[in-house]
Structure 1
Amino acid sequence: MASDLLPDIGTLIKKQGYRLAGSHSAVKTCLWMRRAVREEGECYKARFYGISSHRCLQMTPTLCCNQRCLHCWRPVELDVPTPQKWDSPVEIMGSSIECQRNLISGFGGSASRELWQQANEPAHVAISLSGEPTLYPYLDELIEEFRSRGVSTFVVTNGTVPETIKRIKPSQLYMSLDAPERQTYMEVCSPKDPCLWDNINESLSILKNKECRTAIRITLIKGVNMFDVKGYADLIRKAQPDIIEVKAYMHLGFSRNRLERDAMPGHEEVLDFANQLGCELGYEVGDQVEISRVVMLFRDGKFVASKLPV
């Protein structure tokens, strides 16, 4: 979809169920959070990592991104300007929690009262809603603010800002890896700067020495990046992550304007790719969730999940 056919970012995020937190952050309740508070199931991350889906806050400290990925469900065609002034971590944390409470305020009649009350006090934050969180210059301080409240944190990054990746210490650091080499990366992620592939390789090396739990996530798009298992393995070997998540692209949101429905691989195809990757790297299948078309690989013969550290 051309950018001139899209509304402004404020109109768009409101229409999609977001709430603006402060001047440049945003919050949105995910499908699994809403299901969990109604006792209708939980996200695969509850099974893999022990989080409580109904107490999970999904947010981003910035809507800006430096990639325009084919598979992204966000409107990447719409440029979001860099804020002239950044909100403080304290402001973002407080406004994000308040937004979450506002978003679930109407759940009281259709949800478990006990679960709804618990949901008003987030125990986990997924910093992965939209945009690239490492573009927020105080991300390390934001993580520490959440930690001070006993809230565990996931950060999902595209790996293009290695200097921020060096500093941050979330409970779990996810890095997306959506291509086995530069040319495919350029086609899949459409980076605003072609040098970002070099940054990604630097970030992979940084992950190797991180003290927090680390994960590489591969989103498989059939006919686009679902090949060259050895190429992926060679890159992942630099990072030596604790966990590898291999997940199917899902035909959702604005990605439907860029990809056909048959670009979604089936769960068995994801599992086969994950098994091949595990064989290359010496990782084993730790778990899988068919409804989410996701497979988790872990290393060293140890299952590292269960309770997520704060």
Structure 2
Amino acid sequence: MEALGRIGTSQSCSSSFESHDDCNAGLLAVWHLTRLPILCILAGVFLTLKWWLSRRNSVGLGEQIVELKIPAQTFQPLSKPITEPGISNIQPTPTPVTKPSLSRAKREPKRVLGSKAGRRVSPKSHPNSETASIRIQPMIFFSSLTGSTEAYAKSVQEQLIEKASASTLEPQIYDLSYIDYDDYFISAPESEAGIKYCYLVLVPTYNIDTVLNNFILHLEETHHDFRIDNAPLTGIIGYSVFGFGDREGWPTEEDGFCSQAKDIDRWLAKLTGRRRAFPLGMGDVKADAKARLMEWVGGIVETMSNIAETGSLGEGVIGSGDAVESDVEEDDTEDKVKSTLGDLEDIGIRTNTKTSLAIDFTTTDTNTLKPMVPKTSPTYASLTKQGYAIIGSHSGVKICRWTKSALRGRGSCYKRSFYGIASHLCMETTPSLSCSNKCVFCWRHGTNPVGTTWRWQVDPPEMIYDGAKEAHLKKIKTMRGVPGVKAERFQEAMRIRHCALSLVGEPIFYPHINEFLTLLHNDHISSFLVCNAQHPDQLAALNNVTQLYVSIDASNKESLRKIDRPLHRDFWERFIKCLDIIRSRRYDMRTVYRLTLVKGFNIDDEVSGYADLIARGLPCFVEIKGVTYCGTSTSAGAGLSMSNVPFYHEVQTFVTALDTELAKRGLHYGIAAEHAHSCCVLMAASTFKRNGKWCTIIDYDRYFQLLESGEPFGPEDYMGEDTPEWALWGNGGFDPADQRVDRKGRAIEI
């Protein structure tokens, strides 16, 4: 029975299993038939539920923000709709909560009247409140000798104004010839909160020395100055450099194409902590300069927009504070391999030493050095266009307007009234066209070379002397056919009697200046040498001259820095040392302080300071002259205009005030002579009075007798005749033997 029971049970189970299999097979068939519609319905339900929850959370967030009761002044009404990539325009409404756009691929924080919602976001995905308020101030720096780079710089300024975003301020533009590097390249300029500076530098490349080379030297010295931080310009948001070159002269970058732009880019990388906002741009002036520049500007515009949005140069970019890439350029590689252009004077000279040394011209083969002013250079073209005759590689000659005036009997310069020099007998020359200052009143405005030490070819003094005389007389001969030239004066002009070493540049800069002076004196040509009080060693080694000038353009350090813009960093110490040397030479030769008055620069409240400087150097004479405005556009770039030219009565007022200050100090000076037409007045020490009369005229024959005797003598030993009555203070100073004329050459009755 049990067996039968087990068999029956087994059969029933088997039957049950078969019916179950049939049931599963039926359900599987139904699933296969309906699975696609079911999955679609479930997906729709899921997406609907997710959308509903998202909308509910958004509304809850907006309600929570309203409940925070943030002060009303925190959120200012919008004056314009906000437009962001992927977000619809949000019009300003009185409702503090706006609905998000459903078209966004990525949900972003809600906006409440133009400010961010309270949800925390990653700084790299969206700017924080501080970053959102950043405004970029582009500062365009350029150097231009012929004007081409200046035109490009102004074009960049216009492009930035047109294309830059609202967060970019109007670009400021600066000529490197007319700024003080310490104001911009030792520390970042001070600015209002939220304003970040971006430096843009546009420079040409020349194989001659220009102001640009001194700028490169300044960057190098700043980097190596132990008193200054390694990266003092980290306060700026970024920088970029664009260079102009000529591939005909330098086919490749290795050969020098845009080499100066590369040097500036390298030093700025060091000074800014590698905040290179955009790569170095380079263009060939004869091919693709304009196209490459436009590409560079486009990159600058995009970069500044990104900076304003993110607050940094970008993730992974060196200098942004983010991760540094693995191919970082080595910091001091160039220091180990080569130096930069070094000083202004060794343009084109590459050395393997980090510090350039002074050159001993007695043992050095000067054929390896380059000329100061090559004949193919724009400096040469510019100076010759201004009327200069270039002698050799670094000297020049020019005849001034007073020479032309004297030839026609229309009057000589102030030297005729003060010292008895007729202008048509005077040669104006210089053995060095290079200068160590960039004075705001200089007529050359950066067209002449500049430098702090001599590292050019050195022409022999005999060649300079012969070339200067030949060029001067050649220019005099061009006046032969000019109407009004007097035959007797033309013949007199063929015999040079005086030499004014004050044309342009720094005469004592020339290594063989003493030999040059000897050549002048051997021919009985008097020497009037002017220096700018920046080379004390050369001044101390100077031989006797007929009259030694030192330019005193300011009474204090700050004013001197602004008006003379010296290249030497220790310019004030050099200046004071030169005044001490002038005092020590006071009893060897006639010494003169030349004060050039520039209204708005060195006149107001400086009389007392000038008196102190006179007390320090005790010069024989003090010439006070109003600045002459040359009327060029570059003068405006230096901050100079006709408003800076003092009237003659203002010069007279200054002179009388200075005379009073000197008397208070017990210094025995007086107002001796004047030349109103030159806006110039002469003060002299009382030792140049004889029988109560001023004797400022020089006895030139007596001077050469004393010089050739070999015996010591002083400046009073070659005083000439009494100063003419017409030249004395209060009488105007115009020689009655000449005839004053107006601008059209018509006689003026005095």
Q: Which residue of structure 2 aligns with residue 55 of structure 1?
A: 425
Question: 1:29-76: per-residue Cα shift (whole Å, max 9, x none)?
Answer: 001011111111111101100112111000111111111011111123
Give the Cα separation in 1 of the matches to 2:662 and 2:481: 49
Q: Which residue of structure 2 aligns with residue 290 of structure 1?
A: 676
Runs of at least 4 residues of structure 1 off by over 6 A?
Answer: none
Question: 1:156-207: per-residue Cα shift (whole Å, max 9, x none)?
Answer: 1101111221232210001000111111111111111120211111111111
Q: In the superposition, relative to structure 1, how do residues 69 and 252 fare at CA in structure 2: closer, same or farther (>3 Å)?
A: same
**Aligned-pair CA distance for 1:304:** 4.1
**Amino acid in the other structure paired with 2:641:** E
Matched residue SS, 1:295: strand
Q: Of the candidates 607, 622, 626, which is equivalent to residue 248 of structure 1?
A: 626
Identity, % of aligned positions: 33
Q: Of the candidates 380, 383, 386, which is equivalent to residue 10 of structure 1?
A: 380
1:305 aligns with 2:691: no
Q: Which residue of structure 1 aligns with residue 443 of structure 2?
A: 73
1:95 aligns with 2:472: no
Normalising by structure 1, we get a TM-score of 0.95
* Aligned residue-pair number: 310
Q: Of the candidates 641, 644, 649, which is equivalent to residue 263 of structure 1?
A: 644
Alignment of 1:1-310 (within 5 A): 3-6=143-146, 8-76=378-446, 79-80=449-450, 82=454, 84-110=456-482, 111-168=485-542, 169-210=544-585, 211-227=588-604, 228-252=606-630, 254=632, 256-257=635-636, 258=638, 259-282=640-663, 283-300=669-686, 302=689, 303-309=694-700, 310=703
**Amino acid in the other structure paired with 2:619:** P
Normalising by structure 2, we get a TM-score of 0.40
Higher mean alpha-carbon deviation, 146-155 vs 200-209, is at 200-209
Unaligned runs of 5+ in 2: 1-140, 148-377, 664-668, 704-750
**Aligned-pair CA distance for 1:22:** 2.0
Unaligned runs of 5+ in 1: none
Higher mean alpha-carbon deviation, 79-88 vs 291-300, is at 79-88
Matched residue SS, 1:131: coil
**Amino acid in the other structure paired with 2:553:** D
**Amino acid in the other structure paired with 1:267:** Y
Q: Contact 1:171/1:308 (CA < 8 Å) preserved in 2? A: no
Higher mean alpha-carbon deviation, 160-169 vs 38-47, is at 160-169
**Aligned-pair CA distance for 1:5:** 4.4
**Aligned-pair CA distance for 1:277:** 1.2
Give the Cα separation in 2 of the matches to 1:252 and 1:285: 28
Q: Contact 1:58/1:128 (CA < 8 Å) preserved in 2? A: yes
**Amino acid in the other structure paired with 1:221:** V
Q: Contact 2:622/2:684 (CA < 8 Å) preserved in 1? A: yes
**Aligned-pair CA distance for 1:79:** 3.9
Give the Cα separation in 1 of the matches to 2:697 and 2:449: 39
Question: 1:244-268: per-residue Cα shift (whole Å, max 9, x none)?
Answer: 0011011115563320111001111
**Aligned-pair CA distance for 1:77:** 6.1
Q: Please say which structure displays the higher CA radius of gyration.
A: 2
Q: Contact 2:437/2:566 (CA < 8 Å) preserved in 1? A: yes
Matched residue SS, 2:601: coil
Matched residue SS, 1:104: helix
Matched residue SS, 1:87: coil
**Amino acid in the other structure paired with 1:305:** T
Higher mean alpha-carbon deviation, 242-251 vs 84-93, is at 84-93
Q: Which protein has greater RCO, CA pairs closer than 8 Å, 6+ apart?
A: 1
**Amino acid in the other structure paired with 1:91:** M
**Amino acid in the other structure paired with 1:261:** M
Give the Cα separation in 1 of the matches to 2:699 and 2:572: 30
**Amino acid in the other structure paired with 1:252:** C
